[in-house]
A and B are shown apart, each in its own frame.
Chain A
Amino acid sequence: MKTILFKLLFLSLITIFLTACSSGGGGSSGGGGGSTVVQESAFCSTNQSFSPATTITGSSIYYYRPIHASTHVLSGNPVSDTIAAAEIVVTDAAGNVVQCSSVDVSGNFSFALPRSAASYTLTINSRANNALLKASVLNDININGLYSISKSITLDGLSATQAVGQLTAYARQSESANIEGAAFNILKKLYVANDFIRTKLSQPTWVADKVTVYWKAGFNPYSYYGYPNSPLSFYASGERKLYILGGINGDVKTSDTDHFDNSVILHEYGHFLEDVYGKSDTPGGSHNGNMIIDPRLAWSEGWANFIQAAILGSSYYADTAGFCSDTVESTGASCNLNIYFPLDGSGASASMDSVSVLGEGVYREVSISRTLYKTIASPISTAVGSLRAAIPFSEVWNVFSGSSSGFVSTGVHFRNSGKFVEFLNAIVNTATYSANQTAWTNILSNEKQPISTKYYADPVTLTFTGSCGKFPIALSPVVDYSIPAKISNKLHSNDFYEYYYDGSTNIQIALAYTQSGAQTINLDLIIYKKDYLYFEEQAEAQGETNSTYAVRSVRANPALETGSESISMVGQPAGYYIINVKAATYGKTSFQLNGTADYTINETVSGKVLCPTN
């Protein structure tokens, strides 16, 4: 009886659970926030054959706003380019789909219709799902609607062929309120990206997985996340969705827009490629272009800045606002350059993220972008002002996406440019690239990029003290950044080590250090979990907490620094951690930080040290 009652209880629970499930999902629309969500319509994919048939031919173009060669703002009248790879749908007078096709890489199309007297509508949509490109440019997250241009076709029922002329997507609001030209510009740039990778990898059938792009003229997509006043394009990590800035509050004439900023479009697509084909450990976060930042963030942003330039064949990154000098639409318009930086100059004299000491390049995103750009730029040049190593892009991609000996390897953690350069250096230092090696070495030297993880996430292992020649290590901290808040200098005031804990051994980590210099330096010992967020002392002072601490030893501003900090790893699960040796710098002046601490990381149970690899 007990068994029967238990089964009944179980069945009843299952019934209720299934009822709850089916009431919410399963359909093509829904949503509880007051708006109806409609899923993107199915691709039109079946190409029909007809006999007898009339072959329809034509072409398609879109207009975009060009970037001025010297001012780098959007300036001048819109210019045209050919649409590529876009979906074609042909419907009859009753709205029934009679043919599916797609535009070729040159904007042309050719497809069959029944040879009979009839009228049709030919529509080219802002999406592709073919061997060249898999992407959809949609208007918003609720409607998931396409942008399209269309044309009526009338067949006489006699002709074997009929040319229908050209379909055009416009860039001016006065010519088309939705600015379909922008949607087709985004689609074209994604095609160019796919074609670039296909060509460089010598893999004619390569095509990236599908990506969805949300864009609407005059709309800031960051509003979806509650930030209407922060104009932003972004990639939703893990969701394979790009959000491209279309302006703000209906305005495209003066506001920041990104639909014609190819750098921005492909920067965000670079994050998509990293998400799907590479691997990122970036914690995200805000920063400016003249700042030492978390190396994981610097790598991810540096990669995205680089890949856009590689795809476009340009040597800069440009992000504009508004437009000007349009002979038709200049009234009420103004143009600005939000962001611009070249990628081909010297790291020492760069206007953004210049570098001066070895290891600094790991912490600066634009330095990483320049390093990668100059690595693939050709022809080979060893002159400091125009360094180019002409290493094939495919080698960079192989490291970027490599699952056995690249960035996607399971043994790689805390991904940063030091690790990337280490991988790539192993390839460049072969006979195949003997002619490129001097330029490559000069680039790394110029951009202060180390060929190892020495300056970030260097693995430490338990080693007998006498066998480790790395300690003591000197740390001479500097004052915090003051913009946008008090931020610790991650290169000069911190050291970071990768540490694997097995989850069971009694490990007691102790930081021992001695002082030299005029002032006493207070070092803290912090163990972060794998996906950690670096925690600023200012944030702590303001009462914020950080759940990514595993354990730490932070003695709050002792009157007399005793030179030791210790923690226990007992109770922590097995896994990879970051050991952060951090100088307490919050609120201190350069005078107060005028000193050096020489430290050793001991493990007191075994009597060994945690010795860095490099």
Chain B
Amino acid sequence: MSDKLKRLFVYFHRASFFIPLSVVAGFVGMAIFNSLDENSFSKKKSHGAERTLASFQKKYTFKPSTIEKHLAVVKVTLESQNDIPDSGNASVVLKGKIVLTQTPLAAKFRWLLPEDVQIIHGSTQGQLDPNLIGVAQEVEIEISGFDQSAQKIISLEGQALHAEQTFGATVLLSSRPQDSMEYLAPSMKESVDQLAADREL
């Protein structure tokens, strides 16, 4: 056997011993790492954080709070008081809330309904109290024909005359929100966050 072959044999002989050993040792190391209690790990992290090396700083992650268009003069929200039926003419009660943030000269609301939706109870338009500032003024309507057989959209619009300008806002309610991109958006964001997290490893 040549010297090269002998060295190769010794190498594989050692490797056959050390590779499984190293794998076992790796898992032992991970187990030890995982067994560190939260406090001891936190101490190590905080020690590193005190150094504030730029390369160690975790990328800032943007997380917006629940905010809205804060300067809007009229704010409108809308929700269904009962489940939207799959089909048929079962009634649905919709409740809207309109908030005026400034003192207007006058204020009003109106519902915009699809042609195949009928009113059972309530008015499609009316006046709001212009003196109620910062208080949700509720408007309610009972309808039929608003079902999930097809995408149907109902709008509630609030308007206020303020400082020689007419301000307003509209909110929509879909009979099939599950068909919207808004419905899918959180999982899309989750995918992006997961990819970013994977890359940080």
Contacts and interface: CB of A to CB of B under 8 A. Distances in A.
Contacts of A239: 60, 62
Chain B: number of interface residues, binned into ranges: 35 or more
Contacts of A285: 65, 67
B199 interface: yes
A232 B68 contact: yes
Contacts of A95: none
Given A13-B30, A336-B167, A483-B134, A228 B185 contact: yes
A256 B191 contact: no
A419 interface: no
Contacts of B54: none
Chain A: number of interface residues, binned into ranges: 35 or more
Interface string B156-185: 010100110111111110100100111111
B59 interface: yes
A14 to B, nearest CB: 9
A223 B72 contact: no
Contacts of B163: 351
B190 interface: yes
Contacts of B185: 219, 221, 223-224, 228
B32 to A, nearest CB: 9
Contacts of A341: 71
B81 interface: no
B70 A289 contact: yes
Interface string B110-129: 00100000000000000000
B23 interface: yes
A284 B73 contact: no
Interface stretch (A243-251, A543-551, A598-606): A243-251
B170 A321 contact: yes
A222 B201 CA distance: 28
A305 B185 CA distance: 28
Contacts, number: 223
Interface in A147-189: none
Given A33-B191, A352-B102, A483-B133, A9 B168 contact: no
Given A34-B190, A35-B187, A288 B71 contact: yes
A263 to B, nearest CB: 11
B133 A31 contact: no
Contact of A141 (B73, B182, B192): B192
Nearest to A248: B172
A237 interface: yes
Contacts of A30: 191, 194-195, 198
Nearest to B50: A573
Contacts of A71: 165-166
Interface string B23-43: 101101110000000000000
A482 to B, nearest CB: 7
Interface stretch (A19-27, A98-106, A107-115): A19-27
A236 interface: yes
Interface in A276-324: 284-290, 317, 319, 321-322
Contact of B167 (A142, A241, A288, A340): A340
A289 B102 CA distance: 9
7 contacts: A8-B18, A8-B22, A12-B26, A31-B191, A33-B188, A256-B69, A339-B71
Interface of B: 18, 21-23, 25-26, 28-30, 59-74, 77, 101-102, 112, 133-134, 153, 155, 157, 159, 162-163, 165-172, 174, 177, 180-195, 197-199, 201
Given A33-B188, A241-B62, A254-B170, 18 more contacts: A8-B21, A9-B29, A31-B190, A33-B193, A34-B187, A141-B188, A223-B186, A234-B64, A237-B60, A239-B60, A249-B177, A286-B70, A287-B70, A321-B168, A336-B166, A337-B165, A351-B162, A483-B101
